[in-house]
Structure 1
């Protein structure tokens, strides 16, 4: 890939290095960025991924990744949002990839009542940071495989949301470096437009629905073998605009 990165972003810190975090780390290294990875189990558990990524990657604690990153990605289960190191992240732009899944996260009253979006909840915890919602509406496999250089005819777009215009601009530049156009869908109060169950969430990037009656193994093989569909910026905007909040 070797696309020119945002010159303001030389190091991407990752708090969480699972499926989405791993895909973002691979895209970032391919774009010429340094990455500092962390997870809840300790830096030593990331040795294999760091070895795969090469000299531009290292493992650290969450606080160290937060400190090192020019931009920091929070990509942990939402139930762990209040463990993000708020003091270290003060003043930084934090990319929130997290979605609310009550079956996994437990029930959070503000989200169940619709008084806050999940990203607004994260922003409340990270009061000194600039939270931008991004990378939450696409699965990890297509996030990696659909990346394309700027100007490519089959380039896909992803929605972003945030309250700080400068922070959103920085995240949009990162998306561009990683291989995506960015579509601004508004403030964090509007970030529900890309959450699970909305028209722009996951399905538009697939050519078809998963076949019914398949085993778990067959379903996973279909998931890996099915090529992604590039969704252009105007279509992402249209889908986000048509979302209706439950």
Structure 2
């Protein structure tokens, strides 16, 4: 399968490595150009390309950028065929992305992304820490395998996202439509808590929407206090302990 990945942050790097290792024909781009992409993430045959090239001639595009960058990326999709599946991994953090009025008024993050792109999307890989994603993927059927939620309105988007999630070493649990995807936004019990497939449905059902922003911001403050100005993400053990205390 031909896959284009936009973004080379912590999640994007792991997506490139895992999906190319799984045998897919992967292209990757960032906002700074192909010459700035670290060579180590191309170890399994992925190709570094421009942002315009990454969305052309592919079956799937995965967006792994800050949510605030989506409007700038949207113009790249003007000529992308309607049958190209788009999967978004982003999360809304107002201090980083700036306040977005529609989301603050109640639109889910994934609905907002779909509106910016003017096309259907699936939401996946947003609810796992980058460290857990990089380190804890295991083959299907392994006891204790981490599960992550996948939201989509269409069956094609849902099924493709769930297939690719499985190929990256995680169980996929369909969380519902994009309008229900607030259940996997930052601050929710399913967000970065490393739950199993058996545990995930109860976590999704227990989500209290009104409490998500407060919990999200508490976690960010705690991580900032611990990490200081470092751009390094916290290790998975600390991050999961923190999110389980704050979100569950």
**TM-score w.r.t. length of structure 2:** 0.79
1:197 is matched with which residue: 180, 187, 191? 187
- Measured after TM superposition, the shift of residue 47 of structure 1 is 4.6
Query: What is the alpha-carbon root mean square deviation over aligned residues?
Result: 1.4
- Aligned mates of 1:173, 1:33 — CA distance in 2: 12
1:113 is matched with which residue: 89, 105, 125? 105
Alignment of 1:73-92 (within 5 A): 73-84=62-73, 85-91=76-82, 92=84
- Structure 1 residue ranges, 4+ long, deviating more than 6 angstroms after superposition: none
**TM-score w.r.t. length of structure 1:** 0.80
SS of aligned partner of 1:103: helix
SS of aligned partner of 1:67: coil
1:117-142 Cα offsets, whole Å, 9 max, x none, are 11111111222x33000000111111
Matched residues, number: 207
Question: Do the aligned residues in 1 keep the contact of 2:13 with 2:41 (CA within 8 Å)?
Answer: no
Structure 1 position 163 matched with structure 2 position 120 = no
Alignment of 1:219-234 (within 5 A): 231-234=195-198
What 5-or-longer segments of structure 1 have no aligned partner?
1-9, 206-230
What 5-or-longer segments of structure 2 have no aligned partner?
211-248
Structure 1 position 33 matched with structure 2 position 24 = yes
Q: Which residue of 2 aligns with 1:71?
A: 60
Alignment of 1:1-246 (within 5 A): 10-51=1-42, 53-54=43-44, 56-84=45-73, 85-91=76-82, 92-114=84-106, 116-127=107-118, 129-202=119-192, 204-205=193-194, 231-246=195-210
- Measured after TM superposition, the shift of residue 63 of structure 1 is 2.0
